[in-house]
A = this chain, B = another copy of it.
Amino acid sequence: MGLHNRIKLEFLSLPVNLRLARIAVTAFASEVDYNVNDIEEIKVAVSEAVSNAIIHGYLEKPDGVITITASLWSDALEIVVEDQGKGIEDLENALQPGSGDDPERMGLGFVFMRSFMDEVEVTTEPGQSTTVRLRKRLPGEVQAQWCAEK
């Protein structure tokens, strides 16, 4: 599948940058005409992945670097969120709803990502890094047009 456009955004693990991450990804996604609802879902999914990198990956230390790569493929928008933080020891358990033990967190981050995106893939090296890959299919017409061009 052809790649139409790509951006990469790197920023410090500060909560103030969540808004920026959401804005940048939705501005990028606006190249194809997702509806308002899709855009809202993309925003939440990105917010969850980046919040996790800040809280769990970097334990709220502000000097971690988070990278978002957003790609427009012929058939889907792909968003990859990476941190070089503490990683996830027990990934299977972490992916269960309500897995965390922080009473202030709902354990719904991955649930939201899965509800709002078509694919969610997590890879992690404990002690080193976590990568979350999110994919959402393009709106039907765009996909048909771009695939025809290939």
Contacts and interface: CB of A to CB of B under 8 A. Distances in A.
B12 A9 contact: no
Nearest to A3: B12
Nearest to A22: B27
A43 B148 CA distance: 36
Given A23-B23, A23-B24, A23-B27, A6 B16 contact: no
Interface of A: 5-12, 14, 16-17, 19-20, 23-24, 27-28, 31
Given A5-B14, A8-B11, 14 more contacts: A5-B12, A5-B17, A6-B11, A7-B9, A7-B12, A7-B20, A8-B8, A8-B9, A8-B10, A10-B10, A20-B24, A20-B27, A20-B28, A23-B23
